[in-house]
Amino acid sequence: MSKHLLKFTVNGKDQALVVESHERLLDVLRDRLGLKGTKEGCSTGDCGICAVIMDGKLVNSCLVFAIQARNKKITTIEAIGTAENPHPLQRAFIKYNAIQCGFCIPAMILASKNLLDHNPSPTDEEIKEAIRGTLCRCTGYQSIIKAVKAAAIEMKK
């Protein structure tokens, strides 16, 4: 296995790490950088639970080799909001009960944020399209769609 120097930006902070060719972005984020908010649901790119934003695109971090993130900007759930200052999406997810078991929620919020970054006034269909790759088994998605719409309105205020 060859080793590589990986320089990239994670949640606004520059990082430099030595990684092996086969290391997944998911493992580097969770195990090397301690960002446990990114979850692992299937390891085959089917559930979308491990999604992060890479240079403005939502990617499944289980399918991305860490070295593919070289010189890129990664955003994980840890950079979205804090308990004291939650993101409007986070507030709306709580208000509309768009959370049950919570396991898909980091990815769901990132998918929604990535949508709103590019499209501040999405329709229901556009929201469904944006989160179609992120599975949720608890909520039935309806409350999530409501929350995203409400957050979009809130963010324009």
- Rule CB under 8 A: which residues touch other proteins? 36-44, 46-47, 49, 76-78, 80-83, 86, 89-90, 93-97, 99-106, 109, 127-129, 131-145
CB of 42 to other proteins, least distance (A): 4
Residue 47 or 71 with smaller CB distance to other proteins: 47
Percent of the chain as helix, strand, coil, to the nearest 5: 40, 20, 45
Around Cβ 6, how many Cβ atoms within 10 Å? 22
Give the span between the Cα atoms of 93 and 97, in whole angstroms. Answer: 6
Q: Residue 40 half-sphere exposure, CB side, CA atoms within 13 Å? A: 15
CB of 104 to other proteins, least distance (A): 5
Residue 7 or 81 with smaller CB distance to other proteins: 81
CB of 27 to other proteins, least distance (A): 10
CB of 79 to other proteins, least distance (A): 10
Residue 6 or 115 with smaller CB distance to other proteins: 115
Q: Is the distance from CB of 120 to CB of 152 less than 8 angstroms?
A: yes
Positive or negative, the CA dihedral 129, 133, 139, 143 is negative
Residue 44 or 71 with smaller CB distance to other proteins: 44
